[in-house]
Amino acid sequence: MTAQTMHPDGTAGVVGLVGLGLIGGSLGLDLRARGWDVRGLVRRESTAERASQRGLAGRVSTDPSVLAGCRLVVLALPLDQLLAPDPALLAALPPDAVITDVGSVKAPVLRTWQGIVPRFVASHPMAGTAEAGVEAGVRHLFRGRPWVVTPTPDTDPAALELVRTLSEAVEARWLLCDPQAHDRAVALISHLPVLVGAALLQAADRGAVAAPASGDGQAGYEQVDTEARALVRALASSGFADTTRVGGGNPELGALMARCNREQLLAALASYRRSLDQLEGLLQQERWADLREALAAGQRLRPEFL
Amino acid sequence: MTAQTMHPDGTAGVVGLVGLGLIGGSLGLDLRARGWDVRGLVRRESTAERASQRGLAGRVSTDPSVLAGCRLVVLALPLDQLLAPDPALLAALPPDAVITDVGSVKAPVLRTWQGIVPRFVASHPMAGTAEAGVEAGVRHLFRGRPWVVTPTPDTDPAALELVRTLSEAVEARWLLCDPQAHDRAVALISHLPVLVGAALLQAADRGAVAAPASGDGQAGYEQVDTEARALVRALASSGFADTTRVGGGNPELGALMARCNREQLLAALASYRRSLDQLEGLLQQERWADLREALAAGQRLRPEFL
């Protein structure tokens, strides 16, 4: 960190958090525990009150002027709000402040923000729980988790250093990458699994009654649809539960990610289809040794992703 | 249970276990703890010795004649051995014994065994761990888990009752269904997730470098393939791990299930493709409200399968 960005007290100076949900609230708790001067901007009075009680920031307000004097502002907002920023928020951002965000898709955020503020750094701290809202913030959410930043040639190096100070204060792992590469990677490992799991849930529901009978092994009693649907539910075990966990998650979030990362998600789907086509081909052609080898390749790959 | 099948001591009489791996060994431990008279048939002398030490059966042998006098024989063998039974085993089965199996696909097992032995009952106790072999058997593996049986018009009702006694002795949940409906259900909830997860692993590996660059958000440095591959691995989190758990599992087992349940798995894949096509269509046509609704339907469905 350069002298230019380091505040005399060793912190990043006054930090503003826009939004005090899971990410903003967790940042506030960690930073305040380290003695940082934290301001919070929220939309609702009731949220401001509860955030103050929880100590998520030293000062919390619904008035954007609470950001005056901040050297660093973290936009801890959902992607849709990041991509259509509130004019009152824009007007309140100190002109020389470093602005960063926490959005899970980076190219569209950069397209929006690099034209608006001079010192923008695109961040994606990759941490989370299933919780949301003012009660969700917890200590140590970011400890050991990646804090991905996607600088461009236009990114101010001193601004980047200030965000790095922030990531270190919450004990995250600093990870630099290209914005496109980031968006492609999260499409594959975060957004594609949502569609894959959702499709599996639908197939398990619909496929129970859609498959053609092949005529042998008949039990001599009528198999009605409701029985077939009950059976797949009765037989589903932990493997099915795991495979569909993210596919059965928050639909608002899933649809928002898909909307904001549409191109990369379509490319990821195309790649996935090629893999699935190949496996299906082996099954159709009864190439059992090749199918076993393809599954063995997956078994070898998986630990690399854990 | 009828008087005809009930043994005077309240057990099913002498029970033979063919194979003392995870399923056979776990059955042996539970049944012996209840005072049942259990015989074990295994292939290797070393396995017989270890199985005896572990107390998986009262008598363990590599000689099929150990099954003489058994009123019930459980074929706790892998599917490939079930579908191509050893002639020495067939010759040793007591002609009036009730024979059942533990295979995870039922129509092909019935096709094989109903022509060979007069009193066959097709079973699929749905319990398991990641372990296999003579060390794998544990107490209470079946407690509260489904013991699926798939009787046909040819199934001897007294034989069915004897298998029910067995399932109750290990505290499993008795579940009767049609063989085809069973195979269709396990294709959807057990075998399809293997292919879905394996394809996702391959896509995450290949797709990292296959996606086209869209030209914006360039960082001005060369993104080499190895960097992209490392990035998807660095960013993968618990959601990806869960979605690919069964897809990254035992490839021998995965390929064997696919081989033995090929028709139903192809039908399940067709159903899955229809669901995935629909989701992809919503993404392509930017129908975000409909995509959100489709994901919400998955979110509502999932608890029914848990």
Which residues 269-298 in chain A show a CB within 8 A of chain B?
A: 269, 271-276, 278-280, 283-284, 286, 288, 291-298
Find how far residue B279's CA is from the centre of its chain: 30
pLDDT one-digit tens code per residue, B138-164 = 999 999 999 999 999 999 999 999 999
Which pLDDT value is given to residue B7? 62
Q: What is the mean pLDDT of residues B178-199?
A: 96
Main-chain dihedrals φ then ψ at residue A301, nearest 5 degrees: -70, -40
Main-chain dihedrals φ then ψ at residue B61, nearest 5 degrees: -145, 160
HSE toward the beta carbon, residue B185, CA cutoff 13 A: 27
Q: Which amino acid is at A24?
A: G
Tokens of B37: 């008279």
Which pLDDT value is given to residue B223? 46
Using 50, 70 and 90 to split pLDDT, how confident is the model at B131? confident
Using 50, 70 and 90 to split pLDDT, how confident is the model at A2? very low
What does pLDDT average to over chain B? 91
Which pLDDT value is given to residue B4? 46
Burial string for B260-291 (b: 16+ CB within 10 Å, else e) reads bbbbbbbbbbebbbebbebbbebbeeeeeeeb
A214 with B263: Cβ contact below 8 A: yes
Find how far residue A235's CA is from the centre of its chain: 32
Q: What gap in Å lies between CA A147 and CA A233, rounded to an integer?
A: 39
Radius of gyration over every alpha carbon of chain A, rounded to an integer in angstroms: 24
Nearest alpha carbon to residue A167 among A58, A15, A64? A15
Using 50, 70 and 90 to split pLDDT, how confident is the model at A5? low
Which residues 113-152 in chain A show a CB within 8 A of chain B?
A: 126, 146, 148, 150-152
Main-chain dihedrals φ then ψ at residue B53, nearest 5 degrees: -55, -40
Which pLDDT value is given to residue B156? 96
> Residues of A with CB below 8 A from B226's CB?
none
Which pLDDT value is given to residue A227? 83
State the distance between the two ends of chain A, measured CA to CA, in whole angstroms.
32
For residue A274, with 0-12 CB atoms within 10 Å meaning exposed, 13-18 middle and 19 or more buried, which class applies?
Answer: middle
- Searching chain B, which residue's CA lies closest to the CA of residue A111? B217
Q: Say if B84 is an interface residue toward chain A (CB within 8 Å).
A: no
B232 with A188: Cβ contact below 8 A: yes
Q: What is the mean pLDDT of residues B240-259?
A: 95
Tokens of A65: 């002027």
Strands A123-125 and A146-149: antiparallel
Q: What gap in Å lies between CA A67 and CA A18, rounded to an integer?
A: 9
Q: Which amino acid is at A185?
A: A
To the nearest whole angstrom, how far is the Cα of A52 from the nearest Cα of chain B? 32
Which pLDDT value is given to residue A11? 66
> Residues of B with CB below 8 A from A288's CB?
255, 258-259
B206 with A269: Cβ contact below 8 A: no
Of residues B8 and B234, which shows the higher confidence score? B234
Using 50, 70 and 90 to split pLDDT, how confident is the model at B5? low
To the nearest whole angstrom, how far is the Cα of A46 from the nearest Cα of chain B? 28
Neighbours of B220 (CB within 10 A): 9
To the nearest whole angstrom, how far is the Cα of A72 from the nearest Cα of chain B? 23
Neighbours of A1 (CB within 10 A): 14
Residue B121's DSSP bridge partners are B100
pLDDT one-digit tens code per residue, B72-81 = 999 999 999 9
What does pLDDT average to over chain A? 91
Residue length of chain A: 306
CA distances from A141 to A24, A47, A93, A300 (A): 11, 21, 26, 30
pLDDT one-digit tens code per residue, B89-103 = 999 999 999 999 999
> Of A9-13, A187-191, B78-82, B127-131, which gets the smallest average pLDDT?
A9-13
pLDDT at A1 over 70: no
> Residues of A with CB below 8 A from B294's CB?
198, 202, 251
For residue A258, with 0-12 CB atoms within 10 Å meaning exposed, 13-18 middle and 19 or more buried, which class applies?
Answer: buried
Q: What gap in Å lies between CA B191 and CA A299, rounded to an integer?
A: 15
**Closest by Cβ to A239, choosing from B193, B203, B232:** B193
Q: Say if B2 is an interface residue toward chain A (CB within 8 Å).
A: no
A235 with B295: Cβ contact below 8 A: no
pLDDT one-digit tens code per residue, B9-53 = 656 789 999 999 999 999 999 999 999 999 999 999 999 999 999
Q: Which amino acid is at B54?
A: R
pLDDT at A10 over 70: no
Which pLDDT value is given to residue B2? 43
Using 50, 70 and 90 to split pLDDT, how confident is the model at B219? very low
Best of B188, B206, B250, B272 to substitute, by most chain A Cβ atoms within 10 angstroms, is B188
CA distances from A194 to A7, A102, A189, A190 (A): 42, 20, 9, 7
Using 50, 70 and 90 to split pLDDT, how confident is the model at B192? very high
- Searching chain B, which residue's CA lies closest to the CA of residue A214? B180
**Closest by Cβ to B298, choosing from A198, A221, A303:** A198
> Is B96 within 8 Å of B69 (Cβ atoms)?
no
Strands B59-61 and B120-121: unpaired
pLDDT at A129 over 90: no
To the nearest whole angstrom, how far is the Cα of B16 from the nearest Cα of chain A? 26
Classified as helix, coil or strand, A286 is coil
Which DSSP helix (H) or strand (E) runs through B121?
strand B120-121
Which pLDDT value is given to residue A6? 53
Q: What gap in Å lies between CA A120 and CA B207, rounded to an integer?
A: 29
pLDDT at B128 over 90: no
Q: What is the mean pLDDT of residues A92-109?
A: 96
pLDDT at A168 over 70: yes
CB contacts < 8 Å between A and B, how many? Answer: 394
Q: What gap in Å lies between CA A99 and CA A165, rounded to an integer?
A: 13
Of residues B279 and B211, which shows the higher confidence score? B279
> Could you give the ipTM of this predicted complex?
0.88
Using 50, 70 and 90 to split pLDDT, how confident is the model at A9? low
> Is A145 within 8 Å of B212 (Cβ atoms)?
no
> Is B30 within 8 Å of B139 (Cβ atoms)?
yes
To the nearest whole angstrom, how far is the Cα of A12 from the nearest Cα of chain B? 26
Q: What is the mean pLDDT of residues A148-159?
A: 96
pLDDT one-digit tens code per residue, A56-98 = 999 999 999 999 999 999 999 999 999 999 999 999 999 999 9
Which pLDDT value is given to residue A169? 96
pLDDT one-digit tens code per residue, A174-233 = 999 999 999 999 999 999 999 999 999 999 999 877 544 444 444 433 445 778 889 999
Of residues B222 and A260, which shows the higher confidence score? A260
pLDDT one-digit tens code per residue, A263-276 = 999 999 999 999 99
pLDDT at A303 over 50: yes
Nearest alpha carbon to residue B65 among B41, B100, B99? B41
Main-chain dihedrals φ then ψ at residue B86, nearest 5 degrees: -65, 125
**Closest by Cβ to B243, choosing from A237, A243, A284:** A243
Which pLDDT value is given to residue A212? 46
